[in-house]
Amino acid sequence: MLDPLARRTHRRTLVLGVVAALSLSSCGALQDDGARSAADDLARGLHSEDVSGLAFSNGTGEEVQTELERVLRTTGGIEPDVTVTGTEVEGDTARAELSWRWDLPATDEDWTYSTDVDLTRSDGGWRSTWQPSVVEPGLNGNEGLRIRTVQPQRGEILGADDVPLAMSQPVHRVGLDLRKVPAAQRSDAATALAKAVDIDAGTYRKAVSQASDDAWVEAVTLREEDFRALDAAQMKKIPGMQATEDTRVLGRSKGFAAETIGSVVEATAEDLENSDGALTRGAWIGRGGLQQEHEASLRGAPGVVVDRVGTNPDGSLEPGQVHQLVAHAPRAGEDLHTTLDATLQEAAQRALEDVDSPSSVVLVRPSDGAVLAVANGAGSKGYPTATLGQYAPGSTFKIATSLAMLRKGDSPDTTVDCPHTYAAEGTSVANFSGYPQQFEGRVPLRQAIAHSCNTAFAAQHGRVSQQNLAEAAESLGVGVDMTPGIPVFSGSIPSEEPAGEHVAAMFGQGRTLVSPFGMARFVASVQAGKLVQPTLLAGDEGAGSESAGDDEADDAAAAPAPRVPLTAGESSGLHTLMREVVASGHLEDLGSLSPDTAVGKTGTAEYGNEDPPRTHSWVIAGHEDLAAAVFVEDGNLGSITGTPIMLDVLRAAQGS
């Protein structure tokens, strides 16, 4: 809306310099430099919002300062630019025109207008006459200006089929109104409320003790269902307890894909300072995950409204006395369309419910790289284990070693040696204690994979160099950057290693590091027959897509690529090996899936200095057009800890 002041059709004639002398000659008056100087002093005082040292014709400087503060109390601390654009003098009276410019927040358009101030000569000097209309022409005696930003509606995060995953929802803010709690009872009231809403009592007592006597101290913000679950009778007994209704942007359910989606919080003073004016007081911003990575489009842009409002002596507003002067509407944020499947995400989270250790499940569709679920267990305690965790891959990495062997001319039926123990380069390697003896000795590569023979792969160190191993791992995505829509660790593997470390690297120990997200890409690439570029963003087809058009092909060509790309023949060989793990090895339970086409690999990686060492538990698997990685930081063998989780998730996918 245009500033109505800009449309004023009647403008006071300003008389400047010699023109002033000529126009006022009939009155026998010339422009008086003293009046102009007094007007300039007033303009400077209005700009700095301090007129306490100036002389006025109708009150002291301190009295006018009090009135000015009342008028500007709700302008948000914005300092206007005020200049004198002309003066008229006639005898002992004068009138000056003031030009006002406000740099309004949330818009590039300034608010500009002009006002008039009367001056009188007294005791040889000039004094301004105060009235609220000096600040804004329409202000009367009990009115002030209010400048407020209007926060935009934040865009929603949507999943597959546009199912809402994060959106504005009703909440209840629960806290203590200290005006209603005697000082002697505040500590007990804070303790009781903290216990009732299950937060740390010590932290909340400290917040209450540091608050002013008239403060409202929030304890927690609760979803509707969580608030309804509170003991209402117990809450009513707490002095000063108050619950107010509000709205917040939250995930579709408590904990839903929390680390992947992120959260929306009120901007701090530091956020405002670092935003270079992009954020205004009261703004809400994304923290972590998709909310933070796509903040610019999700947030939208705030608007701003300037009103004349009725004010009371205590600073409160007079209800109903509002006249809008300027309005710039906010721009709503854009919805973010993602590939996350709400049903599969919830299934992945349920599968991890009983896992105390940090854990995760990641699901990717190989045909187009769509990420369907990224779940972290409660044991991760808010850390994005799935995307940023860095762990040794254990025996799942034997798939990369197998790829290097295929490139040396081996096949799934090539015979390899699988002794119970093997020692080389100062490194001693043994199969796990329960390894079946009938699969030791001379066995085909497919059986060495199916039963996870450590020694067979360690023994390949002489013919498969660390460079060969790193190139094979990169072909499946380890260490190859990806941009799925949130930060992820793509993995790392040295191209050179000391001899002993190279032996360990052959079966997934040593300094090779991967993330669960990266391992889902790893198995997806085997299924797709080429390196998959996973994405959480709908419409942003990954390099694994078999139906990519010209634009997608260009994007794929620009994406980071391995030094040696995976071929269809190599993928077929790896698929055969991973199918054997289900057909006769550690993942036989996955044979219950329909159709019986699952492939996979288990893994156990030792870490730490304990004796016996602690172990990471891994399972990677593929079934039809689905690739999955399951990880538990402190687990048993991959087949023991990870397989039940994997089976639950893949069965859920069958029913989705």
Q: Which two tokens stand for residue 643?
A: 């397989």
Q: Which two tokens stand for residue 644?
A: 């039940």
Full DSSP string of 591-602 = GGSSSS--EEEE
pLDDT one-digit tens code per residue, 348-399? 999 999 999 999 999 999 999 999 999 999 999 999 999 999 999 999 999 9
Residue 217 pLDDT grade (very low, low, confident, very high; cuts 50, 70, 90): very high
pLDDT value for 87: 96
Does residue 275 carry a pLDDT above 60?
Answer: yes
pLDDT value for 9: 32
Q: What average pLDDT does range 481-507 have in this prediction? A: 96
As a whole-number percent, the residues of the chain with pLDDT over 90 amount to 81
Residue 408 pLDDT grade (very low, low, confident, very high; cuts 50, 70, 90): very high
Report the candidate in 611, 610, 616, 621 with the shortest Cα–Cα distance to residue 648: 621
Residue 5 pLDDT grade (very low, low, confident, very high; cuts 50, 70, 90): very low
Q: How many CB atoms lie within 10 A of CB 93?
A: 15
pLDDT one-digit tens code per residue, 281-302? 889 999 999 999 999 999 999 9
pLDDT value for 510: 87
Does residue 104 carry a pLDDT above 80?
Answer: yes
- Answer whether 252's CB lies under 8 Å from 164's CB: yes
pLDDT one-digit tens code per residue, 583-592? 999 999 999 9
pLDDT value for 24: 33
- Answer whether 561's CB lies under 8 Å from 532's CB: no
pLDDT value for 277: 78
Does residue 23 carry a pLDDT above 60?
Answer: no
Q: What average pLDDT does range 233-241 have in this prediction? A: 95
The strand pairing partners of 255, in sequence order, are: none
Does residue 548 carry a pLDDT above 50?
Answer: no
pTM, full prediction: 0.83
pLDDT value for 542: 42
pLDDT value for 558: 64
Residue 279 pLDDT grade (very low, low, confident, very high; cuts 50, 70, 90): confident
3-state secondary structure (DSSP) of residue 605: strand
Q: What average pLDDT does range 152-167 have in this prediction? A: 96
How far is Cα 392 from Cα 509, in angstroms, rounded to an integer?
6
pLDDT value for 559: 74
Q: What average pLDDT does range 187-206 have in this prediction? A: 97
Does residue 554 carry a pLDDT above 70?
Answer: no
pLDDT value for 381: 94
3-state secondary structure (DSSP) of residue 650: helix
Does residue 16 carry a pLDDT above 50?
Answer: no
How far is Cα 132 from Cα 43, in angstroms, rounded to an integer?
14
The strand pairing partners of 93, in sequence order, are: 90, 120
How far is Cα 237 from Cα 231, in angstroms, rounded to an integer?
10
- Answer whether 578's CB lies under 8 Å from 600's CB: yes
pLDDT value for 369: 97
Tell how strand 157-158 and strand 336-337 pair up. Answer: parallel
How far is Cα 393 from Cα 515, in angstroms, rounded to an integer?
8
3-state secondary structure (DSSP) of residue 132: helix
Residue 111 pLDDT grade (very low, low, confident, very high; cuts 50, 70, 90): very high
Residue 545 phi/psi, 5° resolution? -65, 135
Mean pLDDT, all residues of the chain: 90
How far is Cα 60 from Cα 514, in angstroms, rounded to an integer?
74
Q: What average pLDDT does range 74-95 have in this prediction? A: 95
pLDDT value for 552: 46
Position 124, amino acid: G
From residue 471, alpha-carbon distances to 82, 478, 499, 564 in Å are 68, 9, 17, 6
3-state SS track over 318-356? EEEEEEEEEEECCECCCCEEECCCHHHHHHHHHHCCCCC
Report the candidate in 341, 342, 350, 343 with the shortest Cα–Cα distance to residue 370: 341
From 8-12, 546-550, 557-561, the region with the lowest mean pLDDT: 8-12
